[in-house]
Amino acid sequence: MNIVKLRANLEKNLILHLDLISPNNEFKKIYTYALLPPGKLFRPLLALSIHLDFAHNNLEFFNPNEPVSLLASALEIHHAYTLIHDDLPSMDNDDYRRGKLSTHKKYGQWQAILAGDGLLNASYYLLSCIDSPQTPKIIKIISHFLGPKGLIDGQVIDLSENKKLFPHILKMHELKTSRLIQCAIMASYLLSTDKPNWRTFIDLLQLGKHLGIVFQFLDDLSELNCKKISKHESNINPWLNYLEPSYNYLQKSLDTIHHLTRKHHLDCFRSVINEYLHKNQKIISDGQLVIETHLKNQNILMPIMNRLDIISKA
């Protein structure tokens, strides 16, 4: 499986879908700015790889009208809306995103709020274009997972003032990060099999949950690769406040991912996450000295890097 080729194809489809949903006026450039050039396309890649693993179909997804193509763009567009709103001054107040000005810094606040709202609606439009008997069920699960009891609740926990206990941090990561990843895996599975198996479905939800938490824990670790840590960061970064539980949970999640991907023969899916784990391992390894200063523990990074190394090559 050629990830570079898959990513290029996802980007091509994303451009076509962006064109489909955008108004023919000045505001189109704001939607384009927020979506292109795309990030890693991690969630669309997860959806595609699950499709390849279950449908054993190598070609279909090159067509932008295929169910999994529409799903992939809908996930990326939904993700983009959360980033635009997250960056707003009253939220995380970030001036930069992916090496360029955040949408509100570039175009203004009301423009960023409306662009986010527009993309959020548009992600449901793309889902509703999926020609499959599973479409209503998929929209139901996705809107539940990403709504007030799901992703939004995770953002609420994130922004709430008080210092978080370890179970709250786990809950926050599960809601804010795992839910969208679970949507990618679960919806792609439903679209790729004629008779979805209930136990497989549950396993895939578990897989998505742990992948999201690994994603976030490794990201939190990378955040420590700078000399000065912000107050918000020191409040929410689990590695600063709960070093051992974080270490143990990360190991446990990596094990679960390893086990479940083997059990269901998710070879394409593994290629995607291995690329991701490998990149993370490199980032952490490059920042080892600075990160270890913040952790005040020099015996914890090496086992993590070794584990990532073993798993990403398994």
Instruction: Give 48 or 122: the residue with its C-beta nearer to a second copy.
Output: 122
Contact window for a second copy (CB under 8 A) among 1-9, 148-156, 203-211, 301-309: 148-156
Q: Are 154 and 173 in contact (CB under 8 A)?
A: yes
Q: Does 152 bind a second copy (CB under 8 A)?
A: yes
Q: Are 125 and 131 in contact (CB under 8 A)?
A: no
Contact window for a second copy (CB under 8 A) among 4-12, 152-160, 232-240, 255-263: 152-160
Q: Does 118 bind a second copy (CB under 8 A)?
A: yes
Residue-by-residue DSSP string for the chain: --HHHHHHHHHHHHHHHHHHHS-SSTTHHHHHHHHSS----HHHHHHHHHHHHHH--SSGGGSTTSHHHHHHHHHHHHHHHHHHHHHSTTTT--SEETTEE-HHHHH-HHHHHHHHHHHHHHHHHHHHT--STTHHHHHHHHHHHTSTTTHHHHHHHHH-SSPPPHHHHHHHHIIIIIHHHHHHHHHHHHHH-SS--HHHHHHHHHHHHHHHHHHHHHHHHHHTSSSS--HHHHHH-HHHH-HHHHHHHHHHHHHHHHHHHHHTT-HHHHHHHHHHHHHHHHHHHHTHHHHHHHHT-TTSHHHHHHHHHHHHH-
Instruction: Give 150 or 212: the residue with its C-beta nearer to a second copy.
Output: 150
Q: Does 300 bind a second copy (CB under 8 A)?
A: no
Minimum distance of a second copy from residue 13's CB (angstroms): 18
Q: Are 128 and 139 in contact (CB under 8 A)?
A: yes
Residues near a second copy (CB under 8 A), total:
45
Contact window for a second copy (CB under 8 A) among 59-67, 138-146, 247-255, 259-267: 138-146
Q: Does 230 bind a second copy (CB under 8 A)?
A: no
Q: Does 128 bind a second copy (CB under 8 A)?
A: yes
Pairwise CA distance, residues 144 & 65, whole Å: 25
Contacts to a second copy from residues 69-98, by CB under 8 A = 81, 85, 88, 90-91
Contact with a second copy (CB under 8 A) among 41, 129, 169, 295: 129
Contacts to a second copy from residues 16-45, by CB under 8 A = 21-23, 25, 27, 31
Q: Does 136 bind a second copy (CB under 8 A)?
A: yes
Instruction: Give 85 or 264: the residue with its C-beta nearer to a second copy.
Output: 85
Minimum distance of a second copy from residue 151's CB (angstroms): 8
Contact with a second copy (CB under 8 A) among 39, 147, 167, 303: 147
Minimum distance of a second copy from residue 92's CB (angstroms): 9
Q: Does 52 bind a second copy (CB under 8 A)?
A: no
What are φ and ψ of residue 100, in 5° steps? -140, 170
Give the binding site for a second copy (CB under 8 A): 21-23, 25, 27, 31, 81, 85, 88, 90-91, 108-111, 113-114, 116-122, 124-125, 127-129, 135-136, 139-140, 143-144, 146-150, 152-153, 155-156, 159
